[in-house]
Structure 1
């Protein structure tokens, strides 16, 4: 049994999250920007489908990626060096969210509802939520979005309509975060795609400890540079 959160009620400790399904902590109806910020600062994130209440999660273990540990294969190096593309940041945030919400093969629906888009767009306007976008031939071909608090980045979702476009965005994000001394990228749950790029699982207790250090210091919320390919990015 999980608790029902009334508006403004505090989250329960993450240690109370269920083992099955892994990490389910609480439910409610409140999905405001402030509630979302409070959740991230505690190692909690929202994930639910249309027709469900807002479900809050904190899985154990937690999938993370240290920016300096991004794994770039030989074939990906060739793509980064030779394929014509442009990486931008925060230039098409809502478009990235809607592309992430689009139906995919083998999926019946999406968890990125209009309410989620509205809440995260408000956080984007406040300088917390960011998009990293891969543009090819002047068209948005892939990208990702997530949240930055202090020196912690919480990845939410990614999409690609062209081969390697989401990987290009993730590699550039990791390099940028490394230059800004970010400690972790939260990947939330284990996927083979993220594992192949250097992601790994750590215990929730360790995740929360490192996260607390990362969010205690760092830049103030604000738009990121549109151009994420400065001269020191060498692939």
Structure 2
């Protein structure tokens, strides 16, 4: 890793410890820095804790989890996950995840401070034919810092939209989530779902129900369960919205958040082992 890369990693870790995170503005090309107040957190428990908080599992998600269709891994395709999160979506044609963000968070990943969880389905002939090799990674959304000047803006933000296959070529990536890990604090960044890659034709020749539906939510459930199993104490989701609310997100003041970070970031925690088979699906939603 070059001196410049070390600077990027060190600067990002300092920013996250201070409760600050970057996002690229797709309109201006500037990387802005945020520290919202209040701050949004995800409960790190599937069952109610002493404050009555827990990660909410809907009945439909519980059915997905019990179906066993998806194969879950960690850090098997970090680059592909972050690039998939950066792809344009119908509700969001532009992304705060650009090549500078992708590059910076990939450096964090190589330094052991960024992780991904992936969801895979068996690859059909169409997926295999359309798949292309994953490319090296380089992706995150107002306070300016001189750090953004060390990130050279790419003239061409190329984003793969082709299916991503596992190393053995037997599975296709249909969902994932990634984030930053410092001590016992985890900062969730983004997630994606590609259910169309798992479509199965129905009896009438139409696309049937996809076993890849809700793959990103499945990854989120396993992330929360994994953080709980490994002894993490904070899961930051930055900003609250209608999507995160369905999972039981709550808010704290910035001062409270910084106190929690100070205690969590200096508490050593190991990311591995990752054992999704031991993550228990609740019998009913809270």
Asked if TM exceeds 0.5, the reply is: yes
SS of 2:56 mapped into structure 1: coil
> Structure 1: which 4+ aligned runs deviate by more than 3 Å?
none
1:161-172 counterparts in 2 under 5 A? 161-162=194-195, 163-172=213-222
How far does residue 75 in structure 1 lie from its aligned partner after superposition? Answer: 2.0
Partner of 2:69: 84
Give me the TM-score of the superposition, normalised by structure 1: 0.81
Counterpart check, 1:152 vs 2:185: yes
SS of 1:47 mapped into structure 2: strand
8 Å Cα contact 1:87-1:228 kept in structure 2: no
Write out per-residue CA displacement over residues 138-190 of structure 1, whole angstroms, 9 at most, x where no aligned residue.
11111111001000000111111122111000000100100111112100001
Alpha-carbon distance in structure 2 between the residues aligned to 1:207 and 1:151: 14
Alpha-carbon distance in structure 2 between the residues aligned to 1:82 and 1:166: 15
Counterpart check, 1:112 vs 2:88: no
Give structure 1 stretches of 5+ with no counterpart. Answer: 1-30
The structure whose RCO (Cα within 8 Å, separation 6+) is larger is: 2
Give structure 2 stretches of 5+ with no counterpart. Answer: 1-6, 46-53, 123-170, 196-212, 282-286
Write out per-residue CA displacement over residues 111-151 of structure 1, whole angstroms, 9 at most, x where no aligned residue.
11111111111110110000111112211111111001000
Alpha-carbon distance in structure 2 between the residues aligned to 1:133 and 1:228: 13
8 Å Cα contact 2:88-2:95 kept in structure 1: yes
**Structure whose CA Rg is larger:** 2
Partner of 1:217: 267
Give me the TM-score of the superposition, normalised by structure 2: 0.67
Write out per-residue CA displacement over residues 76-96 of structure 1, whole angstroms, 9 at most, x where no aligned residue.
111101141111100000100
User: Among 15, 24, 27, which residue is 1:48 paired with?
Assistant: 24
SS of 2:63 mapped into structure 1: helix
Alpha-carbon distance in structure 2 between the residues aligned to 1:133 and 1:202: 29
What is the aligned length?
201
8 Å Cα contact 1:160-1:166 kept in structure 2: yes
Alpha-carbon distance in structure 1 between the residues aligned to 2:242 and 2:272: 29
Partner of 2:279: 233
By percentage of residues, which structure has more strand? 1
